[in-house]
Amino acid sequence: MMSAVSTMVMYLHGHAIAKLTRGQLWIRHAGYTTNTTKERLNGLNGVHIQQKNFIWYLNGVEWKDGYNWLKVSDFSIERFG
C-alpha cells in the first residue's frame, strides 16, 4: 500500500515562500526582501530573520541566496539544489 505525500505551501503575492513536505520545512524569499515577507517567515517554527543594513540574517547567519529553497531544521540550514 502506498501512502500519499502531502505538501503545504505558503504563498505571498503569488510566490511560494515556504513549504512543508515530509515533515521538512523549506523557505525562500523569492527576491522579495520586504517587511511582509520577513514577518510571514518569522511566524514559522525554527525561523528567525533579522535585517541589518539591508542584509538579511536567517537564524544568525547571513542569508545571501533567498531565491533557492533552504531546509530549516533545528536551526541548521541546508541548501536544496
Quote the pLDDT of residue 24.
87
Verdict on whether the full-model pTM lies above 0.75: yes
Under DSSP, the state recorded for 4 is P
Residues 12-63: tens digit of each pLDDT: 999 999 998 888 899 999 999 999 999 999 999 889 999 999 999 999 999 9
Please give the backbone phi and psi of residue 25, each rounded to the nearest 5 degrees, phi first.
-95, 130
The secondary structure element, H or E, covering residue 35 is: helix 35-42
